[in-house]
Amino acid sequence: MIYNEYNSDLKRLIKKDGKKVKILLTAFDPFGGDTINPAIEALNLINLELENLEIIKLIVPTVFYKSIDTVTEVIEKEQPDVVLCIGQAGGRKEITPERVAINLDDARICDNEGNQPIDTKIYEDGESAYFATIPIKAIVQKIAEANLPSTVSNSAGTFVCNHLMYGVLYYISKHHYNMKAGFLHIPYMIEQVKHMQDKPALPLDQIVQGIELAIEAIACNKVDLRMTGGTEC
């Protein structure tokens, strides 16, 4: 992570016991016929050189259940303080932290191994939904302060992004771990939409900056801000 004027508050990441704050940051591989995924491209550019922060980077297959198993295996090994999953939401204009993950797979397209579950519960013994435990409104405010587009999202869809967010929160809940977790959707990057008419996109450096600001907001806000993040429809 680049330590500069917009994330200087990261000095607050020091724990009382002097240990680093450990963040597991995940990104999906390309899917749906795409050859690139902005989540991976951004993940590769995030700098680990910060004294009080340790970021563990993980590329996750865009595959139902295998994605959850990949992340929970690293959760078990590394015991991070925060799990922040990143995914592409082609067609969105903003960087959007997700509010909630629902216990439902309903895939419009196949995943990268040809699976296409329809109207299927992710876990029979899971809650109907799990809410993000990261401060989603603080993330939006922090990103907006840098003049980047960001809003709260109230639906992570019903594909592998929602599936992974739900699976991670389910796993943390079932194991009673003291970890924060959530999901951040990012738009296409500019290079992906050169031949797509009227598709919104952001430059890759702005996507990277938005993710870094999200990490800062998570680190610096133990509870979320009390501000509106709702929509009319």
Q: Choose from 20-34, 45-59, 70-84, 213-227 the range with maximum mean pLDDT.
A: 70-84
Q: What is the pLDDT of residue 50?
A: 59
pLDDT of 49 reads 57
What the block records as the tokens of 140 is: 């939006």
Q: What is the pLDDT of residue 151?
A: 97
Binned at pLDDT 50, 70 and 90, residue 6 comes out as very low
In this structure, which amino acid lies at residue 159?
Answer: F
Looking at the chain, which runs of residues are DSSP E strands? 21-28, 53-60, 82-88, 96-97, 100-102, 129-131, 180-186, 188-189, 201-202
**pLDDT per residue over 8-51, tens digit each?**
444 444 444 567 789 999 999 999 988 999 999 999 999 855 56
Q: What is the pLDDT of residue 5?
A: 32
Q: Hey, what amino acid is at 187? A: P
| Beta strands 100-102 and 180-186, pairing class | unpaired
Tell me if residue 161 is catalytic: yes
Write down the H helix ranges in 90-159: 136-145
Closest CA to 208 of 141, 157, 143, 134: 143
| The one catalytic residue among 85, 163, 185, 212 | 185
pLDDT interval class at 219 (50, 70, 90): confident
Cβ atoms 67, 28 nearer than 8 A = yes
Q: How far is CA 5 from CA 8, 10, 103, 174, 205, in A?
A: 6, 10, 40, 39, 16
- Number of other CB atoms surrounding residue 178 within 10 Å: 7
Q: What percent of the chain has pLDDT over 90?
A: 78
In the structure, what pLDDT confidence band is assigned to residue 197 with cuts at 50, 70 and 90? confident
Residue with tokens 């259940």: 65
Mean pLDDT of the chain: 90
pLDDT digits 0-9 by tens, 157-195: 999 999 999 999 999 999 999 999 999 999 999 989 888
Residue of 41, 85, 94, 98 marked active site: 98
pLDDT of 8? 41
Domains parsed from the chain with CATH numbers: 5-220 (3.40.630.20)
Compute the 3-state secondary structure of the chain and give helix, strand, coil in percent, each to the nearest 5. 35, 20, 45
Q: Which of 41, 85, 94, 161 is catalytic?
A: 161
